[in-house]
């Protein structure tokens, strides 16, 4: 059993972590009582009203002005409101992730809430038993692709960063792993686990749109953004194809999931150049998605910090 309770905690920190854990557990229970549609709508309305008034929203405004020079302030404010609404909805949908994807009458079949594009790539990987890598971003409800892969019977593993609170990490790990297949926390040994998955003919997925201090500076909206090379290293080592997975919120609890064809990748004897080339192609793909639907992405994250 995976546990994140490592190290010695002071009583004050232990108490704070326990209060946070209790809050998350109660919130998830209350959300289930409301039902997914109602909970998503209420949370989205509330965060849309309150979120833009919080100081962290200035991070989003600064990011948007840099990414879209000349964009009118009114449009920026509407995007910020949309970002907060999406985050509120995503939080409220979390306890009901399985209900979003699975058809209530035929488990293993996508529900009417999900539209798929490019699903032939997924089905070919599943039917042929070939390894593959998938990258995605914090767009719309970004948990859906992992639920879908598990539902379609794909041997999938997902790399993820657990919360700092070890009790919350345990709670969310149990909730997610029951619905998403194998989860690999990004800690010591994660790369070896992911490599073993690929060598056994499985797939590995990863969210790659957050700041990683140890990453390489790669262009993203015209600015250098430190980006993880973990997925690129796995690709170079195994030559597994790299697919993008995009999630779009079409309104309410309705989504579209698009699986791209494999990235066109050329490998050379220069590892550093190869990694930068792959990361640059991934960032360019994600940038294209974000440009099309900017309110789907989490602009509150300081993606470009040093």
The burial of 282, by beta-carbon neighbours within 10 Å (0-12 exposed, 13-18 middle, 19 or more buried), is given as buried
**What residue ranges of the chain have pLDDT lower than 70?**
1-7, 103-108, 178
Indicate left, alpha or beta for 115 from its phi (over 0: left) and psi (-120 to 50: alpha): beta
Q: Express each pLDDT in 117-157 by its tens digit.
A: 998 998 899 899 899 999 999 999 998 988 888 888 888 88
d(CA 80, CA 196): 41
Which residues lie closer than 8 Å to 302 by C-beta, 6 or more apart? 59, 63, 211
* pLDDT of amino acid 255: 95
Domain boundaries, the chain: 11-296
Residue 17: closest CA among 158, 139, 170 = 170
The DSSP-derived string for the chain is: ------S---HHHHHHHHHHHHHHHHHHHHHHHH-HHHHHHHHHHHHHHHGGGSTTHHHHHHHHHHHSTT--HHHHHHHHHHHHHHHHHHHHHGGGHHHHHB-SSSTTSB-TTEEEESHHHHHHHHHHT--EEEEE-SBSSTTHHHHHHHHTT--EEEEE---SSHHHHHHHHHHHHHHHSEEEESSTTHHHHHHHHHHTT-EEEEE--S--TTSEEEEETTEEEEE--HHHHHHHHH---EEEEEEEEEETTEEEEEEPPPP-----S-HHHHHHHHHHHHHHHHHHHHHH-GGGB-TTS-TT--
Using CA atoms, how far apart are residues 259 and 229, in angstroms rounded to an integer? 21
Torsion of CA 116, 120, 126, 130, to 10 degrees: -130
What is the pLDDT at residue 106? 65
pLDDT for the residue numbered 107: 63
CA distance 252 to 86: 9
Pairing of strands 254-259, 242-251: antiparallel
Q: Note the pLDDT of residue 1.
A: 46
What angle in degrees, to the nearest 10, is found between the helix axes of 11-34 and 36-50? 120
């Amino acid at each position: 059993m995976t546990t994140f309770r490592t190290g010695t905690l002071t009583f004050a920190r232990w108490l704070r972590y326990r209060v946070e854990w209790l809050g998350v557990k109660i919130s998830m229970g209350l959300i289930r009582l409301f039902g997914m549609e109602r909970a998503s709508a209420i949370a989205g309305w509330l965060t849309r009203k309150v979120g833009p008034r919080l100081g962290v929203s200035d991070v989003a405004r600064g990011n948007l002005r840099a990414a879209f020079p000349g964009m009118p302030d009114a449009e920026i404010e509407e995007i910020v409101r949309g970002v907060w609404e999406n985050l509120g909805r995503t939080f409220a949908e979390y306890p009901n992730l399985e209900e979003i994807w699975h058809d209530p009458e035929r488990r293993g079949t996508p529900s009417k809430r999900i539209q798929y594009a490019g699903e032939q790539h997924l089905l070919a990987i599943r039917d042929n038993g070939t390894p593959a890598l998938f990258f995605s971003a914090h767009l719309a409800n970004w948990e859906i692709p992992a639920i879908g892969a598990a539902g379609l019977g794909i041997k999938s593993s997902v790399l993820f960063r657990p919360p700092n609170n070890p009790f919350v990490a345990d709670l969310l790990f149990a909730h997610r792993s029951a619905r998403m297949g194998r989860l690999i926390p990004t800690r010591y040994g994660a790369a070896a686990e992911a490599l073993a998955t690929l060598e056994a003919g499985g797939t590995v997925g990863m969210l790659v749109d957050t700041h990683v201090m140890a990453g390489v500076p790669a262009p993203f909206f015209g600015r250098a953004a430190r980006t993880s090379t973990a997925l690129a290293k796995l690709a170079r080592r195994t030559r597994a194809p790299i697919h993008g997975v995009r999630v779009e919120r079409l309104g309410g609890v309705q989504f579209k999931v698009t699986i791209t064809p494999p990235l066109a990748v050329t490998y050379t004897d220069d590892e550093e150049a190869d990694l930068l080339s792959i990361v640059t192609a991934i960032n360019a793909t994600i940038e294209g998605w974000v440009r099309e639907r900017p309110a789907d992405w989490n602009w509150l994250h300081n993606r470009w910090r040093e």
